[in-house]
Each structure stands twice: as C-alpha cells, then as structure tokens.
Amino acid sequence: MKYYLYILKSKTADKYYTGISQNPERRLTYHNSIERGFTSRYRPWAVEFTKEYENREQAHQAELKVKSWKSKEMVEKLVRGEIQF
C-alpha cells in the first residue's frame, strides 16, 4: 500500500510541518480544520512537497530523516528540488 511523505507550509507563518499519509490532500484538510496540535496555530497550510513510497515503513524512515535535520534551510532545499533522497 502506497504512503507519502508530505511537507506542509503555513501561509501565515514561516513554518513547515512534515508527516506521512496514504492521502496527503485528506491530511491537509485535517490539519486545516480538525487537528488541535501544532498545526492548528499556524493555519492555513498548503502542501509544498510530496514523495511516494511503497509502504509505511519507507515513508516513516524518510519522515525521520527530514525531521532529524532540524533545519528549515534543508527542508526548503528539499522542497525546491535541490536535494533528493
């Protein structure tokens, strides 16, 4: 079953959010309307990047890699296509 790594960018703040899902557009709707955590403070969000993986484990490993960077600059390079993995 396919999973996607997705990166959202806040339209109101200079913030990114990284996650995984089988349906990134559905998750975007969730983050923009239902979710009450981190993403609720910086609504609205837009999908800036997606990458498809064969399974949840591969997508999760990619998510952990992006989150381990702890660098907005690296995330922006990924979104712009300057780095790939």
| Domain spanning 3-80, CATH class | alpha beta
- Provide Rg for the chain, Cα atoms: 12
Residue 67: its pLDDT value, please? 97
Residue 35: its pLDDT value, please? 79
Domain boundaries, given as residue ranges, for the chain: 3-80
Residue 11: its pLDDT value, please? 97
In whole angstroms, give the CA distance from residue 36 to residue 58. Answer: 27
Average pLDDT by consecutive 10-residue portion of the chain (85 residues)? 98 97 97 91 98 98 97 97 92
